[in-house]
Amino acid sequence: MHMEPFKNLLGLPAASRISKAVKRAHPSFHDTAFLKNLKAELEPLELKQRMMLLTERLERCLPEDPRESFRILEDSLKMSETDAIGLSGFPVWPLTHFVAQNGQRHFELSMRALSAMTKVFSAEFAIRPFLINDEIRSLRQLQKWTEHENEHLRRLASEGSRPLLPWGIKLTEFVKSPEKTWPILAALRDDESKYVQKSVANHLNDHSKNHGDWLIKRLGTWRKDSTLRPTGEWIIRHATRTLVKKGHPGALLLHGVKPLTLNRVKTELLTKKVKLNTSLEVRVHLQNSTPEDVNLIVDIEISFLKANGKHSPKVFKGKKLILAAGAKGRILLKVPLRKVTTRRYYAGKQKGSVLINGARQKEFSFELLT
């Protein structure tokens, strides 16, 4: 199956859509100048660079005054399900970046524009410069959005302030001080939207990478709260996934799992040579020699070979099970090794270990054929 390159989400067809929508909102928009030689300029660029180029073209062709240009961009958005011209999805990204680039001295105008744009795409990247340049006022705005009836704005409150948002500017102050975004996360703890729940859990997981003990203490207070809903329980479990993989005792307890190293574990490597786009297969033999049932989280860590000859570890989720007192168990773990844009594979010896409740078992190695 042939997959379209990701960067083509902002190719010439998307640029033409932007031009048509802006022209509808602002009939004097110079669409010919906006599109001139654009195909050739876009071609060698990756997705984010394409977004920035389209933003530059908009800056050339729109009024300099944000009171005019922001209104035009807002009017270019998709107005209803039957609106075939208005913008939604990735073509809105250059519009949100336009606001971030040109709205730092126009806070209220910018917040109004981003609140409209996030409903049809996401303003999670564009809100971040405001958080850096005007932290107090921006956090106050995000706190207001936690109570908004629209789930996209509630999600923006969490996603936009994530300290380690992929593709986004790192929010160093929030990395250092997780307390700054805690009121936003607490306000969204019981949100009924899965879209919002995932963002809150991912935001908390970001904090877990630098403040594990702090996070477990805070989530422990949630767990003790009698008003906690099932949605909050789901967030707790998902937010602690990185700590569980690391075997953090507090995180394991939140999952109902005690830190444990089984005395009798055998790792059986079924695929000593693995071709790219197939799966590594490992069978794990377990025996519970304790006098009580145990909850087990069995994951697998693979240390991938890098270009410099060193290895970089990544943990893959495995399985959860309850092993009865004195019982034996056997599980099969499969890890697909597919081509992905976020990882480059290098042929040769890779290392691996099974993790049982965070405890690393005997290391094994396999050969990856690319």
pLDDT confidence band for 262 (50 / 70 / 90): low
By percentage, how much of the chain surpasses pLDDT 90? 85
Tracing tokens 């500017």 back to the chain, one arrives at: 169
Q: Is the pLDDT of residue 370 over 90?
A: no
**Chain mean pLDDT for the chain:** 94
Question: What's the whole-number mean pLDDT along residues 304-309?
Answer: 94
Question: Using one digit for the tens of pLDDT, what is the confidence trace for 198-224?
Answer: 999 999 999 999 999 999 999 999 999
pLDDT value for 5: 82
Phi and psi, residue 207, nearest 5°? -65, -30
Whether residue 280 contacts residue 254, with contact meaning beta carbons closer than 8 Å, is answered with: no
Question: What's the whole-number mean pLDDT along residues 153-176?
Answer: 97
Question: What's the whole-number mean pLDDT along residues 1-20?
Answer: 87
Q: Is the pLDDT of residue 2 over 90?
A: no
Whether residue 306 contacts residue 359, with contact meaning beta carbons closer than 8 Å, is answered with: no
Q: Is the pLDDT of residue 289 over 90?
A: no
Q: Is the pLDDT of residue 263 over 80?
A: no
Q: Is the pLDDT of residue 232 over 90?
A: yes
pLDDT value for 3: 57
Whether residue 136 contacts residue 130, with contact meaning beta carbons closer than 8 Å, is answered with: no
pLDDT value for 25: 98
C-alpha 254/C-alpha 258 separation (Å) is 9
- Closest by alpha carbon to 357, among 308, 299, 316? 299
- Closest by alpha carbon to 269, among 352, 361, 357, 358? 352
SS3 per residue for 148-200: CCCHHHHHHHHHCCCCCCCCCCCCHHHHHCHHHCHHHHHHCCCCCCHHHHHHH
3-state secondary structure at position 36: coil
CA 359 centroid distance within chain? 26
C-alpha 33/C-alpha 170 separation (Å) is 35
Structure-token pair, residue 4? 């379209």
pLDDT confidence band for 1 (50 / 70 / 90): very low
Give how far Cα 369 sits from Cα of 216, 273, 279, 280, Å. Answer: 41, 7, 12, 12
Whether residue 161 contacts residue 139, with contact meaning beta carbons closer than 8 Å, is answered with: yes
pLDDT value for 246: 84
Residues sharing a CB contact under 8 Å with residue 153, sequence separation 6 or more, in sequence order = 115, 118, 119, 145
Q: Say what the pTM is.
A: 0.81
Structure-token pair, residue 63? 């009024």
User: Could you give the domains of the chain?
Assistant: 1-126 (no CATH), 264-369 (2.60.40.10)
Question: What's the whole-number mean pLDDT along residues 190-202?
Answer: 97
pLDDT confidence band for 366 (50 / 70 / 90): very high
Residues sharing a CB contact under 8 Å with residue 316, sequence separation 6 or more, in sequence order = 299, 300, 301, 302, 335
Q: Is the pLDDT of residue 243 over 90?
A: yes
C-alpha 55/C-alpha 24 separation (Å) is 18
CA 332 centroid distance within chain? 28
